[in-house]
Amino acid sequence: MGEALVAGLIRSGHWKPSQITVCDVRPEQLAQLQLRYKIRASADNRWAVRDADIILLAVKPQHMKHVLGELGPIIRQKQLVLSIAAGIPTRLIKKFLAEDVPVVRIMPNTPALVGLGMAALSRGRSATSAHESLARSILETVGDVLTVTESQMDAVTAVSGSGPAYVFYVAQARTEAGAQLRLAAEVADQLVRQTIKGTGALLAQSHEEAETLRQKVTSPGGTTEAALKIMEKAKVRAIFLKALRSAANRSRELSQQPH
């Protein structure tokens, strides 16, 4: 996810590679990133943040405490801290930082890799609207951005953060069904990929609700209706609601854990 943001920043032309320093614990990963994006790279997190204006924390949630323990004492008030770690509240991040260091929490998603991400952000207590604008300008290089309250972050995680996984899950089921219906694997694969791409674009560009668009392709007594009847009978929609509630609950649980 960190790499997706670096790629977006450079692609946007608003940031020069020489303005970006990337850190990672794996030397081979660092070498690759340096080569690919011509950015600066360092295995020393402390060295890298010393002169940074913006510090983006993009490690797994379980590594955040370690990284914040290392960096917290040297981060200063004029620097901006951005975190994309799922389930880590700004109040927890601020515990490791000096008073008044601004923190913005972000929930991105992986379509950021192809410039079509959906990110939500919320400001911590010391962050101003100028800090929020700065965070936005970074995220807008890889997709759309919404501002939410931090209490909405668990729901955002369930809907858009984890969202791509649900689409991949449905894609997998459709590819399997194609094979059962005796389509060659590569044919089923292409049908599924392009249909998801096309339907996503149609939904994004339409002013109509998903439900209306679905009704338009569901003729009474037709093939689509036959499939949807089975899904409704099996309560697939209700299962989706239950599943997303579970994702949001898990995000809430993670944020309440002592990390």
Ligand X SMILES: NC(=O)c1ccc[n+]([C@@H]2O[C@H](COP(=O)([O-])OP(=O)(O)OC[C@H]3O[C@@H](n4cnc5c(N)ncnc54)[C@H](OP(=O)(O)O)[C@@H]3O)[C@@H](O)[C@H]2O)c1
Residues that bind ligand X (CB under 6 A): 1-2, 23-26, 29, 45, 58-61, 63, 66-67, 84-86, 107-110, 161
Cβ-based nearer residue to ligand X, 45 or 90: 45
Cβ-based nearer residue to ligand X, 45 or 141: 45
Give bridge partners of residue 122 from the DSSP assignment.
Answer: 105
In the bound complex, what is the minimum distance in angstroms from residue 158's beta carbon to ligand X?
Answer: 12
What is the token pair recorded at 251? 């995000």
Cβ-based nearer residue to ligand X, 50 or 229: 50
Give bridge partners of residue 56 from the DSSP assignment.
Answer: 82
In this structure, how many other beta carbons lie within 10 angstroms of the beta carbon of residue 85? 24
Cβ-based nearer residue to ligand X, 67 or 104: 67
In the bound complex, what is the minimum distance in angstroms from residue 1's beta carbon to ligand X?
Answer: 4
What is the token pair recorded at 239? 């299962």
Rounded distance between C-alpha atoms, residue 19 and residue 218, angstroms: 52
In this structure, how many other beta carbons lie within 10 angstroms of the beta carbon of residue 6? 22
What is the token pair recorded at 73? 């004492």
What is the token pair recorded at 253? 């649980």
In the bound complex, what is the minimum distance in angstroms from residue 84's beta carbon to ligand X?
Answer: 4
In the bound complex, what is the minimum distance in angstroms from residue 161's beta carbon to ligand X?
Answer: 5
